[in-house]
Amino acid sequence: MATINRNGVKIHYETYGQGPAILLTHGYSATSEMWEGQIDVLSRHHMLILWDMRGHGQSDSPEDPAAYSEEETVEDMESILDAAGANRAVIGGLSLGGYMSLAFHLTHPERVRALLVVDTGPGFRNDEARKGWNDTALRTAEKFERDGLASLRSLSRERSQSTHKSAKGLALAGRGMLTQRDGRVISSLPEIKAPALVIVGANDTPFLKAADYMAAKIPHAEKVVLADAGHAANIDQPAAFNEAVMHFLRAVDGHA
């Protein structure tokens, strides 16, 4: 267990194993706990770095709404890599964590050995579609403000099983990190030079088209659809998920 301190905000992270680094980011209103089924396998030949985004899990929930943004999240990720002594890493995550991994690549491509995007959307070119997403994100934030952490019980597995300090932190993260302002990330996909693995659960119907789109637009991408898996594909089918990721990592490490 370790922390970094960025401008007075303490961010929790953990490292497992030694070797080439892998940084995994959880989804919105989940925590690093969601990767428990990956720790043993992925840390055998790699340094696996897991962390809690600000407003989530064991990390701080600052009072200032401006402290929650895509930019702050990306810089948290960079600072964690620095603290762990990892100049470059496989950068990956689920849902919001996958989107932030793409955003990290946009800002720091030189630090990305490969990308792992799981049950993720790359954002929106269309302003109206983005507004629809943002409206849903704001309603989710309002639900945490109104109902507190009890709201988690009705959500998907990676969220319903997570432990948080504060519903207010989740609400602020929903307003500042889950909402999107522009199409920079989706527009960057054709410029990605790193190899990428796109994983999606076959039952995660809202994200199937997004997975197809990313696999088509990212030049060196491959796609894996996991049968009998929903939005938390790594939890629903951990063995198949781990096998797909390890197959990908062997290829990445072989060309390092």
Structure confidence by residue, pLDDT tens digits, 135-172: 999 999 999 999 888 887 767 678 767 888 889 999 99
6: domain CATH number? Answer: 3.40.50.1820
Yes or no: say if 174 and 28 are a contact pair by the CB < 8 Å rule. Answer: yes
Phi and psi at residue 124, to the nearest 5°:
-140, 135
Taking only the tens place, the pLDDT of each residue in 55-93 is 999 999 999 999 999 999 999 999 999 999 999 999 999
| pLDDT given for residue 36 in this prediction | 96
If pLDDT is split at 50, 70 and 90, which confidence band does 180 have?
very high
- Please tell me the distance from the alpha carbon of residue 160 to that of residue 154, in angstroms, as a whole number: 7
Long-range contacts of 72-77 (CB under 8 A, 24+ apart): 72/6, 72/177, 73/100, 73/103, 73/177, 74/100, 74/103, 74/104, 74/107, 74/108, 75/6, 76/4, 76/6, 76/11, 76/51, 77/23, 77/25, 77/51, 77/104
| CB burial string 103-130: b at 16+ within 10 A, e below | bbbbbbeebbbbbbbbbbbbbbeeeeeb
Domain that holds residue 70: 2-254
| pLDDT given for residue 58 in this prediction | 95
pTM: 0.95
Number of separate domains in the chain: 1
Instruction: Give me 205's structure tokens.
Output: 């119907």
| pLDDT given for residue 256 in this prediction | 54
